Amino acid sequence: MELAIHNWMRAESLEHTLGRIAKLGYTRLEIQGTPENYDAKKIKPVMDDHGIQCWGSVTLMLEERNLLAKDPAQRKMSVQYVKDVAKMVYDLGGSVISLVPATVGKIIPDATPEQEWEWAVKGVKEIYAYTEDLGLKIGIEPINRFETYFINRGGQALALAEAVGPNCGVCLDTFHMNIEEVDMFETMKKVGDRLVNFHVADNNRMAPGMGHLDWARIIRTLNEINYDQVLSVEFCAPLDRTPANPFPNSIDTDPEGLTAEQKKFLEDHGSSAVTDEFYTMLTKKSMETLTKLINK
């Protein structure tokens, strides 16, 4: 298995991110789902220079992006957004799209479960036809109930993937599984060969090894189901704003390049802008925890 990391968790230049992760031993990047911010022809040579390959991207389902929206125009726009993310991944030589179908932060449905399921299947099928032509995999990603009312568990993601097509897969995330699954290990086994991507953060969404998840058993279970692709690090550290903060240098009080949308997204996840020092520590800790297990 190889290690990737997302780059949406801190506002910084891509080149700065690449320099950090290359130095720490990462080989892959799951690039932020903002295709409007990246010119593949310009950034791929930079990634190549750092020895970092694109693994894929995760859809940032913010604002009006929602495959389950009541408004057909909104659904159409959302499908096009995911296709744009897929095209970016394809142009960068990546492999997977981690797809969250509904708006993150939206917890009130627009319609009946039957109607929303129909919209979800139809929308993902259109995306699937596009990604199949590009040779990419879709991984339907469950996220916890506090971020969405739709697709919270691996079994639900598997049902949607099966309704879409034989090559449609699932992306599991240890942080979300720890909240929603009765038994995350049984869920991993149930998803089995439909698993196309695997996001890793500890139970507190800190770096792997900074919480109570059993990482040895997680890696062992991945081996049992023959998942040998990429572990994609996606911590989003909850920041302590009290005198009890164990990481006093963690909060960046004057971040550069952080858009209002990015700031809101981080704050909605219980985080905020973090310092380079703190972020580097989390990135290094993730590498240290996982490397010693996957190299056994």
Taking the chain (296 residues) in consecutive chunks of 10 residues, what is each chunk's mean pLDDT? 92 92 97 94 97 97 92 96 98 97 90 96 98 98 94 98 98 98 98 98 96 98 97 90 84 68 60 82 97 88
Residue-level pLDDT at 62: 87
Residue-level pLDDT at 255: 66
Residue-level pLDDT at 11: 80
- For residue 265, the number of C-alpha atoms closer than 13 Å in the C-beta half-sphere is 19
CATH among 3.30.230.10, 3.30.9.80, 3.20.20.80, 3.20.20.150 for 2-295:
3.20.20.150
What pTM was estimated for this model as a whole?
0.93
Residue-level pLDDT at 211: 97
Residue-level pLDDT at 114: 96
Rounded Cα gap, residues 104 and 175, in angstroms: 15
Residue-level pLDDT at 248: 81
Residue-level pLDDT at 33: 94
Cβ burial of 226 (10 Å; 0-12, 13-18, 19+) is: exposed
Residue-level pLDDT at 264: 63
Largest CA distance in the chain: 54
Instruction: Return the HEC string of 238-267.
Output: CCCCCCCCCCCCCECCCCCCCCHHHHHHHH
Per residue in 214-259, pLDDT (tens digit) is 999 999 999 999 999 999 999 988 877 788 888 888 877 666 666 6
The H-or-E segment that residue 49 falls in is: helix 40-49
